[in-house]
Amino acid sequence: MNPLLDLHPEVAAALAAGRPVVALESTIISHGMPWPQNLETALAVEAEVRAHGAVPATIAVIGGRAQAGLTQAQIETLGRGGPAVAKLSRRDLALAVAQGRTGATTVAATMIIAALAGIRVFATGGIGGVHRGASASFDISADLQELARTPVAVVCAGAKAILDLGLTLEYLETHGVPVLGYRCDRLPAFFTRDSDFALDQRVDDAAAIAQVMQAQWALGLGAGLVVANPIPAEHALPREVMDRAIAQALAEAQQQGVQGKAVTPFLLGRVNALTGGDSLASNIQLVLNNARLAAAVAAAFAGLVP
């Protein structure tokens, strides 16, 4: 066990017994949704993982300790703290641990701590990616580089629709990260079920995903995988509505000089306001949908590992 890592007793027992565990990020709690929906959603996602046969491990840094599996009180603290809670990616982890701080983990940081704990499946909403205008700003999420180096399968509704989806796929291809479309042939665009971008690889059940995971790491290919799981049709938003809201949010971010870590929370907040709260409702449903699939994948993978 890594000396800087603590496991919740439930998570530790599941890992020791070889039972399926699903990692969950905490940035969505502090930075992705307002109070109290953030707490309600975090608890609902954990319940969904349990209902489908796996143990949830919400990940964060608590008092300078990397933590895989949180108590309800710890989740509530992150939710009430909101954006005042530090947002931790790869570059921030060592500082937060060294200084004894508490912080919510992004996709990248969650993957790192999950891998330290021996957790191979992670459910989130959408991964980060190449931001629009990155040719000038060089704004590329650390999530992509983490996927290229850390052996964790990330179940998501594609990349966040506020990003440049085409360049995000190109980056993942360059770095050898498989992007598996779960029962789909085009990349899901977070709030909408598809985009203009075709995927080269499709899988139709959790067992097939687990087999790809096993082969990927048995071959010594250290990268993670993206499992792109479209939002359920009944909760998807019209593409034209989302395109208009995103365009306006991007323009406002540029006018206000929003940069760095503040960009994604700002854009998601503005898109939610511009859609009258519809995007938040869809966001919650897609995360629950990803938790269900991740639990199935974790169970299938646990059955393969000797």
Buried b (16+ CB within 10 A) or exposed e, 121-145: bbbbbbbbbbbbebeeeebbbbbbe
pLDDT of 261 > 80? The answer is no
Residue-wise pLDDT for 54-95, tens only, equals 999 999 999 999 999 999 999 999 999 999 999 999 999 999
Task: Tell which residue, 200, 190, 36, 222, has the closest CA to residue 126.
Answer: 190
pLDDT of 235 > 90? The answer is yes
> Which residue do the tokens 């000797």 mark?
306
Q: Is 160 a catalytic residue?
A: yes
pTM: 0.94
Q: How much is the pLDDT for 305?
A: 67
Of residues 46, 48, 146, 160, which has the active-site annotation?
160
Separation in Å, CA 253 to CA 160, 178, 215, 247: 16, 32, 42, 10
Of residues 25, 48, 76, 146, which has the active-site annotation?
25
Residue-wise pLDDT for 188-217, tens only, equals 999 999 999 999 999 999 999 999 999 999
Contact 283, 32 (CB under 8 A): yes
Name the least confident of 42-46, 71-75, 121-125, 257-261: 257-261
Q: How much is the pLDDT for 219?
A: 97
Q: How much is the pLDDT for 32?
A: 86
Alpha-carbon distance 244 to 197, whole Å? 19
In the chain the domains, ranked by start, together with CATH numbers, are 5-124+145-304 (3.40.1790.10)
CA angle 114, 115, 116 (to 5 degrees): 90
List Cβ neighbours of 283 (8 Å cut-off, separation of 6 or more). Answer: 32, 33, 125, 190, 191, 268, 272
Q: Is 252 a catalytic residue?
A: no
SS3 83: helix
